[in-house]
């Protein structure tokens, strides 16, 4: 069995300006590789943020994904013993946004089960303001229709791509529900929504991203959120 944990310097640049308030002098990528007779694990995630809550939240998310993957697969019991391959879990990441008060991290998760036609690829995100995890709903004032505005914009944006002519599928995938908009991250232009494969289009098109311009949701955003993420512009 091959197994090692490597802590390496972050090679790729991050999106946004560096912030001494949020991370240490050098942000580090933790890499976990583990291969045995049944599975192959290849995980990368960032550590080295000065605020320990960011590091802990990221570690907990990785542990949660790993624990879910390690649960017994009921369908595997019906597979013939001679089916080739191994189960596999791959996680990569990118820091999508970073300034003195806000951070967004996106994880690409690819889980493969032996005998499957292809891996199950999904996206997960974590967002922080002043070191605290924030949910999408916490960005907005009470009693606003921000989610519906985001849904309307997302529907039109995906429709313009002409990658799905199934109207019901597209409507369901962009409907204004917390589940549909659970994966998002800050951007310099607004808030970007990450839709999983199959959510708004066929698997072959992969995940889809729609950036909601600030102007679309400006009136609904809390003033402290605007200041923390985009400054006083």
- Give yes or no for a contact between 139 and 221, defined as CB atoms under 8 angstroms apart: yes
DSSP letter (8 states) at residue 46 = E
pLDDT band with cut points at 50, 70 and 90 for residue 198: very high
**CATH number of 2-133: 3.30.565.40, 3.30.70.141, 3.40.50.1980, 1.10.940.10?**
3.30.565.40
Indicate whether 203 pLDDT > 60: yes
Residue 80 has pLDDT above 90, yes or no: no
CB atoms within 10 A of CB 49: 25
Closest by CA position to 107, among listed 117, 119, 118, 121: 121
**224 sits in which H/E element:** helix 223-230
> Which range among 16-25, 82-91, 188-197 shows the weakest confidence by mean pLDDT?
16-25
> pLDDT over 90 for what percent of the chain?
75
The topology (CATH level 3) of 136-230 is: Actin; Chain A, domain 4 (3.90.640)
Question: Could you give the C-alpha distances from 149 to 53, 145, 186, 217, in angstroms and in order?
Answer: 32, 6, 17, 7
* 70 pLDDT higher than 80: yes
pLDDT at 23 over 60: no
Mean pLDDT taken over the chain: 88
Task: Write down the pLDDT at residue 2.
Answer: 40
Question: Which region among 5-14, 75-84, 162-171 has the lowest average model confidence (pLDDT)?
Answer: 5-14
Do the domains 2-133 and 136-230 sit in the same CATH topology, yes or no?
no
What pLDDT score does 77 carry? 66
Domain range summary for the chain, segments of one domain joined by +: 2-133, 136-230
**Helix or strand holding residue 186 (H, E):** strand 184-186
Residue 22, pLDDT score: 52
In our burial notation (b when 16+ CB lie closer than 10 A, e otherwise), range 140-177 reads beeeeebbebbbebbbebbbeeeebeeeeebeebbebe
In the predicted model, what is the mean pLDDT of residues 42-53?
Answer: 94
* pLDDT tens sequence across 102-149: 999 999 999 998 878 889 999 999 999 999 999 999 999 999 999 999
**Separation of alpha carbons 59 and 64, rounded Å:** 9
Which of the four pLDDT bands, split at 50, 70 and 90, describes residue 76? Answer: low
User: Sorting pLDDT into bands at 50, 70 and 90, what band is 199?
Assistant: very high
Query: What CA–CA distance (Å, rounded) separates 182 from 105?
Result: 13
Counting Cα atoms < 13 Å in the Cβ hemisphere of 89 gives: 22
Q: What's the pLDDT at 151? A: 99
């Amino acid at each position: 069995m091959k197994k090692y944990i490597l802590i390496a310097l972050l090679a790729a640049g991050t999106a946004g300006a560096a912030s001494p308030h949020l991370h240490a002098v050098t942000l580090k990528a933790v890499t976990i590789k583990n291969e045995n007779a049944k599975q192959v694990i290849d995980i990368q995630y960032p550590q080295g943020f000065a605020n320990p809550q960011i590091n802990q939240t990221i570690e907990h998310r990785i542990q949660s994904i790993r624990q879910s993957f390690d649960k017994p697969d009921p369908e595997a019991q019906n597979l013939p013993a001679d089916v080739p391959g191994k189960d596999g879990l791959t996680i990569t990441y990118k820091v999508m946004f970073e300034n003195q008060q806000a951070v967004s991290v996106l994880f690409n998760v690819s889980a493969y089960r032996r005998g499957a036609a292809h891996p199950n690829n999904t996206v997960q995100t974590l967002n922080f303001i002043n070191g605290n995890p924030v949910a999408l709903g916490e960005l907005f004032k009470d009693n606003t229709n921000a989610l519906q505005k985001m849904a309307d914009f997302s529907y039109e944006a995906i429709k313009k791509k002409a990658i799905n002519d199934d109207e019901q599928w597209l409507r369901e995938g962009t409907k204004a529900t917390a589940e549909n908009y659970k994966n998002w991250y800050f951007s310099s232009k607004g808030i970007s929504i990450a839709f999983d494969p199959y959510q708004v289009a066929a698997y072959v098109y992969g995940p889809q991203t729609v950036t909601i311009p600030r102007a679309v949701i400006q009136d609904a955003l809390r003033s402290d959120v605007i200041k923390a993420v985009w400054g006083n512009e």
